[in-house]
Structures are given as C-alpha cells and as structure tokens.
Structure 1
Amino acid sequence: MARFVVTGTDTGIGKTMFSAALTSALQAHYWKPVQSGLADGADRDAVAQLAGVPASHCVPEAYRLTEPLSPHRAAELDGVHIDPARLAVPDHDPLVVEGAGGALVPVTRGTLYADIFAWWNLPVIVVARTGLGTINHSLLTIEALRARGVPIHGIAFVGDANEDNEATIAAIAKVRRLGRLPMLETVTPATLATAFAANFAPGDFA
C-alpha cells in the first residue's frame, strides 16, 4: 500500500505544498483529519487545486474549526469536543494524510498528533525547512516520533538548497533523505509536479 502520513517540524514550512505534490505524484486521495483556521480556506481545497486531482479525492475532514490555532484550542473556542476515535484513517489507497503543524501539536489536551500517528502505524514523512534551526527542529521531531514507535519513512525538505543541513540531519537521525522541493516563483499544478518529479524518486514512495 502507498499510504503516508505527512507531518512537519513546524507550522508554515511547506507541508501542505509537499502533500499536494505527493498526492499528485501518487494520484492519491488526500485527508487532513482536523482543519483549523477556516477563514484562510481549507487545505483540502488547496491540495485539490494544486494536485490536479478530482475534488472527490480530497476526503472531508473529521473536524473543521474556525480559528487558526492548535486543534485543541480551536476546538475549545468553537465549543467542539474532539474525539480521537473519530480520526480513524479512511479506507483509500493510495492515500496522503496531513497533520497540523508539527508532530507534537495537541489534538486534545491529552492527545498529541504523534500519539495519533502511533495508533495509525502508517509510515510518516517528516517535512523540514532547509535553513537555520532546522537541524534542531528536525532531530527533535524524529526523536519524538521514535519514542512512540512511529515508523518514519524519511525526511523531505522544502526550501533553498542547503547540502550540509540536509545531509547532517539524515546522517545523525539515520533517516532516508527523500529529496528537496525548491521554492517556486509560480506555483501551479504543472510547476509543482515538475519540481517534484525532478527532485524525488518515484520508487521511494512505492
């Protein structure tokens, strides 16, 4: 099965862009279980557009929350109780599942995304920046996932090339370096697909 969970080392680092590129490459279904910050639009709408897949390939979220905050807090402000049992992975293959923010973002006040990932037991792709600070953030993320027994498929970078940072993280963490998605001047389904094909090996996601 080609079913992957995409998490990040932080928020706003290009995780959704990578998820869209991977969804396109696999012609997969996409699911973001909890969407917060609806005023900025839902990530599944952006992924459907950028991945060039039918809207029916983007599975509805289990929870849609108003404020652009961590799910636990956004749910509280909306008066919503998040039940982790409702976050069972939908039965699609191939499938790309995107978390919110980083691996230790709280889904509830007692459950982190990394705990959910351990329950799912699907291979996780860590998306990281290439610039200053990424070594620390990446290694902490990988350690947190491994502490919970989460299977790590590899690390994917987003940003300008930084060979030493990328190689150092992969070597110290002993994770597969999947590739790097460069910053694009113009982001369209075509430019995103071309960039992904040029920088990632299809066999790494078989």
Structure 2
Amino acid sequence: MTRGLFITGTDTGVGKTFVTTRIAQELQTAGVSVGIYKPACSGVEANEAGEPMWEDVDAHFHALDGVFPRERICPQCFHAPLAPPVAALAEGRCVDADLLRSGADWWRGRVDVLLIEGAGGLLCPMTESTTIADVAADLAFPLLIVARLGLGTINHTLLTVEVARSRGLPITGIVLNDHPPQSDDPATKTNPEEIARRSNVPVFGVVGSGMLESELGLGVDWNAII
C-alpha cells in the first residue's frame, strides 16, 4: 500500500516545490521509492530549446531522476500564471475534476511513498466549485504546511491550520522556508516557536535556498512520519 503526504502552503511561491523535492531526495537516500504528483499546474516558461516548460513539474521530474513521465507527475498543465480554472478558461479548456483525483491512482502500488504538491494554498480554486482542500480531503493523505519564515507568516500559517482543521484534514507538521533570506528580519528568530505554540502543530524546521547543502536537511525521519 502506498503511503503519502500532501504538501500545501500558505500561499503561492512559498516553497512547496522546493520542500517537496527535498523530502523526495531524503527518502530516496534512505532507500524508499518515491513518486511526486501535482494535480494541476499553471504558468508556463520556455526551456533552453524554446519549448514550453512548467518549472514545478520539471523540478519534480529531475528529483525523481527522470524515471517517471512528466505527464504522470502533472497531467493537467496550463499556460497562464493564474489559478487553474481561470488559466484553463483562457485556453478554451476546463480542468478535469475527476483527473485531479484519479491522476494519483497511477502511482499507487508503483512507489512506497507518494508526495502530492498542491497549487497555491488550501482555498486555491481547482475547478469552478472545488478547491485544493477538497482535493486533499479526497486523496486522504496528511498535510505538511509550507510557510514563509518572515514577518506576517504567523497569521498566514494559523489561517491555513484553521482551514485544515475546519475541514477535518490531519496536519503532520509545518516547514518554514527562508526564501529569499530574511537575515535582517527579527521575526525569523521568533516565528517558529510562536507558530508551534499557537497552532499546536510541530514545526519541523527551516529550509532555504540560501542555506548550505549541509544545512538543508531537517533532521526529520520522513519515512517514519508518513
């Protein structure tokens, strides 16, 4: 049976992809087979050959050593940097609501652990009538919340925790992302403890792209937690 973790965030751009790929790499180093699934992705870029590329999907593809097809990692990709249903409408398309859930089924039995990365935050629209929170509830994996480290994150993180609890979504923990680095922000020193105390959710630690490679590991046994 495939175990899993649903990585959500307090907002878009808070580091969900960065954290997801780090967890995947740590699990693979521990000998665990891992898959990554993103129900939908929007915001296209061009690669060096001028071909369309979705940065999140590409990051996951390489984190999994190119073993799994990009279309299985994310079966629904849209061009505009907008919420998926809005981006789809701009292309004359609709988000396939069933595929948001069933796309995860391909991974079950193929890997030991499936990491699912949401889009935006829990209330990000995924169709005209559903949100990421609805998809997370249906896929039934516990949440890992990724939040910014700096000033303002207490409110955003506690709101996310409150939404999750109001919908009966179990929360495994919180990871804070220091990107871009906020070394001059005094709130970065107190936010982890404040969030843990006020939310009663474990804060596993701080990551950030400005950290040394040796500092990036959170010291968490993900295989035991998931």
Identify the TM-score tier after normalising by the shorter chain.
0.7 to 0.9
2:192 corresponding residue in structure 1? 166
2:152 corresponding residue in structure 1? 133
Q: Distance in 1 between matches of 2:138 and 2:173?
A: 19
Unaligned runs of 5+ in 2: 29-33, 47-52
What is the 5 A alignment of 1:57-136? 59-88=72-101, 89-90=104-105, 91=108, 92-136=111-155
Do 1:9 and 1:101's aligned partners in 2 also have CA atoms closer than 8 Å?
Answer: yes
Structure possessing the higher radius of gyration over alpha carbons: 2
Sequence identity of aligned pairs in percent?
34
Q: CA deviation at 1:178?
A: 1.4
- What secondary structure does 2:68 align onto? helix
1:38 aligns with 2:44: yes
Q: Distance in 2 between matches of 1:201 and 1:86?
A: 32
Q: Distance in 2 between matches of 1:163 and 1:30?
A: 32
Q: CA deviation at 1:95?
A: 1.1
Indicate the RMSD between aligned Cα atoms, in angstroms.
Answer: 2.1
Do 2:36 and 2:73's aligned partners in 1 also have CA atoms closer than 8 Å?
Answer: no
Which of 37, 43, 66 is the matching residue for 1:54?
66
Q: CA deviation at 1:181?
A: 0.7
Q: CA deviation at 1:10?
A: 0.9
Q: Distance in 2 between matches of 1:20 and 1:84?
A: 25
Do 2:35 and 2:64's aligned partners in 1 also have CA atoms closer than 8 Å?
Answer: no
**What TM-score does the superposition give when structure 2 sets the normalisation length?**
0.80
Which of 202, 206, 215 is the matching residue for 1:195?
215
Q: Distance in 2 between matches of 1:119 and 1:196?
A: 31
Q: 169-178 or 128-137, which moves further after superposition?
A: 169-178
Which of 194, 198, 203 is the matching residue for 1:177?
203
Do 2:5 and 2:114's aligned partners in 1 also have CA atoms closer than 8 Å?
Answer: yes
2:13 corresponding residue in structure 1? 12
Unaligned runs of 5+ in 1: none
Q: CA deviation at 1:102?
A: 1.1
Count of residue correspondences = 198
Q: CA deviation at 1:8?
A: 0.6
Do 1:157 and 1:179's aligned partners in 2 also have CA atoms closer than 8 Å?
Answer: yes
Q: Distance in 1 between matches of 2:169 and 2:119?
A: 17
Do 1:155 and 1:176's aligned partners in 2 also have CA atoms closer than 8 Å?
Answer: yes
List per-residue Cα deviations over 1:16-50 (Å, max 9, x = no partner). Answer: 1111101111221111110111226321212233x
